[in-house]
Amino acid sequence: MKPSAGRRSALDGPAARVVALACFAAAAGLLGYLHREYVLPAEPTAAAKDDGFAACLAERGSQVDKMLADGVIRKSQADQFQGRAEALCRDLADRGRLTQGGRPR
């Protein structure tokens, strides 16, 4: 038996489409909320960045000072190593790749 041309199902109407759109929006919103840490990661605070940077620089500086004291490197090399250590620690801190103790992740 063929349905008549004048009768439409309630599922084909605009109200059903609005309900379907609302369900889709609610599901997308729920997924966005549940995964908000991945979608919008929190920026590390400036203090945390500086703490990690300072710890990293102190650790690298002590290693350079020990090499200088042991006679492994000269003063000019120690100055160059300190500059490189500072650049390394700054880069790791800017990219958020340092722990609070100054160690790379």
What does the block give as tokens for 52?
A: 């990690």
User: Is residue 71 one of the residues assigned to a domain?
Assistant: yes
The total of structural domains in the chain comes to: 2
Co-location of 87 and 54 in the same domain: yes
User: Is residue 2 one of the residues assigned to a domain?
Assistant: no
d(CA 7, CA 13): 11
Co-location of 87 and 53 in the same domain: yes
Could you read off the pLDDT of 44-101 as tens digits, one per residue?
Answer: 555 555 678 888 889 999 999 999 999 999 999 999 999 999 998 888 888 877 766 6
Co-location of 50 and 90 in the same domain: yes
What is the span of the domain harbouring residue 57?
Answer: 46-94
Within 35-94, where are the H helices?
36-39, 46-70, 75-94
Co-location of 50 and 32 in the same domain: no
* Axis-axis angle for helices 75-94, 46-70 (nearest 10): 160
User: Is residue 72 one of the residues assigned to a domain?
Assistant: yes
User: Is residue 101 one of the residues assigned to a domain?
Assistant: no
| pTM metric for this prediction | 0.49
99 in Cβ contact with 105 (< 8 Å): yes
